[in-house]
Amino acid sequence: MSELMRPTFDVDLIKKYGGEGPRYTSYPTAPQFSDRFGERDYITVIGESNRLPIPADLSLYVHVPFCSNPCFYCGCNRVITRSKTAGDEFLANIERELELVSPHFDRDRVVRQLHLGGGTPTFLTLEQIERLLALLKQHFPFDPDAEMGLEIDPRSVEPRGVAGLRKLGFNRLSVGVQDLEPDVQQAVNRIHDTATVAAVIGAARAAEFDSISVDLIYGLPLQTTAGFSRTVEAIISLRPDRISLFNYAHLPHLFKAQQRIDEEQLPTPKTKLAIFRNTLERLMQAGYEFIGMDHFALPDDSLVKARQDGSLVRNFQGYSTHGGLDLVSFGPSAISQIHDSFAQNERKLDDWAIRLQEGHIPVARGLTRNTDDTLRATIIDRIMCSGQLNYGDMEKRFELNFGRYFKEELVRLAELADDGLIDWTGQGFAVNGRGLLFLRAIAKIFDAYLSANHTPKGRFSRIV
Ligand SMILES: C[S@@+](CC[C@H](N)C(=O)[O-])C[C@H]1O[C@@H](n2cnc3c(N)ncnc32)[C@H](O)[C@@H]1O
Ligand code: SF4
């Protein structure tokens, strides 16, 4: 198997191109969604998607918003609770949501993929997760080989529970680790030892999960190069199939829990870059391939194959091997994508629950892409997933003259080519090793909602 390209680490390029930018889990990005798009629009777009010549099969997402303790760095939409009834009340509302949404989909549209995210899906007991699965299967037909994944907080599940999840049919899991150093864990209020993580991963291996993934974050308070490399070594020795290495997004004006982080304790930009560089090099040495943005995977993982054969796609969970599916999402803040439309649920748990109890699909905002949006979304997806763009493909599909349509963008691309981030290919361009860390900065050029060279401050995380 041919190796994927390796990213080059260059401090000057990071200074110039490593600033803030959207993560492009969708285009247009969520800040563009409008509250003029509501329940009626959602029902209409589902109906239209049923009538397409080949209606897409489905990917389901359920946002389980609960966590028992607040991690101070957390930027996810979650509710901290120890309530024993929260899980059952949540399931009752999910059942209402399924009853309201599922009848609008034709019954021959099969679920090929399911993901439980959060919050912490394993806040629910195994019995509650079993019930959730039964509800989903009652309302949608499932492919027996569907990819079924969930996010796991190692503190909230026992090895026995991991085997139980496999028996329920889950075949992929992602384990939140972040950092294994005791002082860092203390500073972010998330404490678990390496043995707990090893036990969860060991149980997942024994239960024959198809893919095990680990989340790490660099840039957390009290992190040092030596400390983070101990974390990285411990994780490498557990050999997860995939590793996500997130750059800590510190946006305390948006995420209240982050106000409890002592900014004095954050690593300096220099230390942070050194941590990033060491981790990148060490993961490569250990045989991990760079997929794109923050994702690494072992060579025989399906993400690597998809990256090589061009079938990799991007969705709200990051990179995925399943393209061409409509995404139907449940739970507070969850975002659906049906063909060219996005619909996001009420963000707050109570608002979401009240809308459902009143008999409404709890869509709060959304958007239907116009042709320009779809064209730019296709280009951004190609950059983020394959690192290549062929102008001819876009001209054929969208009936336009690429050079005329993207006159300004091509001028900005030329600067990237001068800086050595991309190579012209004759029919378009390809991102090379120097550009690989800056996929978001390259994609950003085609974002019509960000004016040339300007990204609003404090809305998006740093690219590197
Ligand atoms: C929903 S959590 C994963 C599941 C579970 N709640 C847990 O923490 O183990 C999703 C992931 O987002 C990442 N994350 C959360 N807040 C972040 C932030 N401010 N910056 C970067 N990554 C963040 C963490 O790596 C976390 O594992
Ligand atoms: S990182 Fe995970 S466990 Fe921690 S608060 Fe966020 S969602 Fe909850």
Q: In this structure, is residue 120 part of a structural domain?
A: yes
Shared-domain flag, residues 306 and 177 = yes
C-alpha dist (Å) from residue 18 to 94, 267, 379, 420, 437: 40, 17, 21, 15, 8
Q: In this structure, is residue 333 part of a structural domain?
A: no
Structurally, the chain folds into a number of domains equal to 2
Q: How many Å lie between the centroid of ligand 2 and the Cα of residue 124? A: 14
Ligand number with the minimum distance to the CA of 73: 1
- Higher per-residue confidence, 375 vs 158: 375
Judge if the beta carbon of residue 248 lies within 6 A of ligand 1: yes
Shared-domain flag, residues 317 and 401 = no
On the CB side of 240, CA atoms within 13 Å amount to 28
Shortest-distance atom of ligand 2 to CA 151: 2
Per-residue pLDDT, 456: 65
Shared-domain flag, residues 401 and 416 = yes
Shared-domain flag, residues 97 and 230 = yes
Checking if the pLDDT of 265 tops 90, the result is: yes
pLDDT digits (tens, 9 = 90+) for 63-100: 999 999 999 999 999 999 999 899 999 999 999 999 99
Per-residue pLDDT, 20: 84
Checking if the pLDDT of 120 tops 60, the result is: yes
Shared-domain flag, residues 294 and 429 = no
Burial class (CB within 10 angstroms; exposed 0-12, middle 13-18, buried 19+) of 457:
exposed
For ligand 2, atom 2: residue with the closest CA: 119
Shortest-distance atom of ligand 2 to CA 69: 5
Shared-domain flag, residues 21 and 97 = no
Q: How many Å lie between the centroid of ligand 2 and the Cα of residue 68? A: 9
Q: How many Å lie between the centroid of ligand 2 and the Cα of residue 314? A: 23
For ligand 1, atom 6: residue with the closest CA: 120
Q: Which of 162, 118, 161, 113 is nearest to 136 (CA)?
A: 113
Q: In this structure, is residue 345 part of a structural domain?
A: no
Q: Which residues pair with 242 in a beta bridge?
A: 213, 297
Shared-domain flag, residues 99 and 211 = yes
Per-residue pLDDT, 2: 44
Per-residue pLDDT, 316: 83
Tokens of 433: 């090793």
Q: In this structure, is residue 293 part of a structural domain?
A: yes
Per-residue pLDDT, 462: 77
Q: How confident is the model at residue 382 (pLDDT cuts 50, 70, 90)?
A: very high
Share of the chain above pLDDT 70, in %: 97
CA angle 250, 157, 192 (to 5 degrees): 50
Judge if the beta carbon of residue 120 lies within 6 A of ligand 2: yes
Q: What is the pTM of this model?
A: 0.95
What pairing do the DSSP bridges indicate for beta strands 388-390 and 422-424?
unpaired
Q: How confident is the model at residue 53 (pLDDT cuts 50, 70, 90)?
A: very high
Judge if the beta carbon of residue 80 lies within 6 A of ligand 1: no
Query: Any long-range contacts for 370-377 (C-beta under 8 Å, 24+ apart)?
Result: 371/398, 372/448, 373/27, 373/28, 373/340, 373/448, 374/340, 374/398, 375/400, 376/27, 376/446, 376/447, 376/448, 377/26, 377/27, 377/28
Domain boundary among 297, 327, 357: 327
Judge if the beta carbon of residue 76 lies within 6 A of ligand 2: yes
Q: How many Å lie between the centroid of ligand 1 and the Cα of residue 408? A: 37
R_g of the chain computed on alpha carbons: 22
Tokens of 326: 């409509």
Map residue 124 onto helix, strand or coil: coil
**2-16, 140-154, 365-379: segment of lowest average pLDDT:** 2-16
Q: In this structure, is residue 339 part of a structural domain?
A: no
Domain, as residue range, for 434: 1-28+370-464
Q: How many Å lie between the centroid of ligand 2 and the Cα of residue 256? A: 13
CA angle 154, 214, 228 (to 5 degrees): 95
Judge if the beta carbon of residue 215 lies within 6 A of ligand 1: yes
Average pLDDT over residues 333-345: 97
Ligand number with the minimum distance to the CA of 78: 2
Q: In this structure, is residue 347 part of a structural domain?
A: no
What's 445's domain CATH number?
1.10.10.920
Shared-domain flag, residues 425 and 280 = no
Shared-domain flag, residues 23 and 81 = no
Domain boundary among 327, 355, 382: 327
What's 71's domain CATH number?
3.80.30.20
Q: How confident is the model at residue 251 (pLDDT cuts 50, 70, 90)?
A: very high
